[in-house]
Amino acid sequence: MRRDFSAPSFSVRRVIYWVLGLQVLIAVLLMGGDLLRALPYIGGRSDSPAFDTPVNPGDQTRRYRPRDMPLAPAREGNPDRPYRSTGDMPDRLTFVREGETLLVTGGITEGDAKRFRDYLAAEEEAGAAPFGAVRLNSPGGAVADALAIGRHLRKAALDTFLGAGDICLSACPYVLASGVNRAVSDEAQVGVHQHYFGQSTVLPAFMAVEDVQRGQGEVMMYLEAMGIDPLLMQHALVTPPEEIYVFLPAQLRDYRLVLTQDEPS
């Protein structure tokens, strides 16, 4: 009897369907597990105190919802800015000249690094006096753009600082880290937490882990290049996105996020 080899046998088709079904099942289970882990982040639930609760050693994790976070009231040395909370801040960075200081305020979004470079180039072409320092007031945002802005700041040999009442959270500390000299008012707040590096938490783990690890590695190499102790990242890695770990002034000095002209760079 002649056997037809032009089509797979019934048993082969069953194996193919079984393998495809198993792959679909694995994908569903992985996505379901990732979704369950992401639900607390999506809902923004956290048992930590509100952001405006004073921090103390060992009690430095605070709830982090950028649209609801209050800013410190105006104090001596703090410009009268029209921001009652981070929700009032611009959704993307704004750049304002105050003498030789550049005020950088608002969320960091994709494309802000290019806008920042274009702004500095336009100032230079217009013959404006060069900036000496950048003052930051930002709830953070896109990590890649924060790193790109920081590299450009270091190349331009600019200082960075926070004044009284300013905040620098999430990805913003990576911009702060780029200053040749770095200063933070005792009445300012600097904090970090986990980042997504452009990936959604509901993606299957096997698709997201590689990008997350690559992003974390890039941040650690960036911090080392800027003269920052990479151990700073330990606080970011263990703090979920719906919370923020706020540094104490002594920690800022220990991790070298604060660096005065009297210290070696």
Q: Encode pLDDT of 106-150 as tens digits.
A: 999 999 999 999 999 999 999 999 999 999 999 999 999 999 999
> What residues form DSSP beta bridges with 25?
none
Residue with more model confidence, 79 or 258: 258
Strand order in the sheet with 94-98: 94-98, 101-105, 133-137, 159-162, 182-184
User: Going from the N-terminus, what domains does the chain have, and what CATH number goes with each?
Assistant: 44-254 (3.90.226.10)
User: What is the chain's mean pLDDT, rounded?
Assistant: 80
pLDDT at 100: 94
pLDDT at 264: 41
pLDDT at 159: 97
Q: Taking residues 227-239, report their average pLDDT.
A: 92
Bridge pairing between strands 94-98 and 101-105 = antiparallel
Number of CB atoms found within 10 A of residue 106's CB = 19
Dihedral angle of Cα 238, 240, 241, 245, to the nearest 10 degrees: -60
Helix (H) or strand (E) holding 97: strand 94-98
pLDDT at 138: 93
pLDDT at 2: 53
Q: Taking residues 193-219, report their average pLDDT.
A: 61
pLDDT at 62: 87
Name the pLDDT band for 81 (thresholds 50, 70, 90).
low
Q: Encode pLDDT of 5-14 as tens digits.
A: 455 555 656 6
Helix (H) or strand (E) holding 114: helix 112-125
Name the pLDDT band for 202 (thresholds 50, 70, 90).
very low
pLDDT at 205: 45
Name the pLDDT band for 229 (thresholds 50, 70, 90).
very high
Q: Taking residues 51-72, report their average pLDDT.
A: 80
Q: Encode pLDDT of 149-177 as tens digits.
A: 999 999 999 999 999 889 999 999 999 99
Name the pLDDT band for 22 (thresholds 50, 70, 90).
low
Q: What is the pTM of this model?
A: 0.75
Percent of the chain's residues with pLDDT above 70:
67
pLDDT at 86: 73
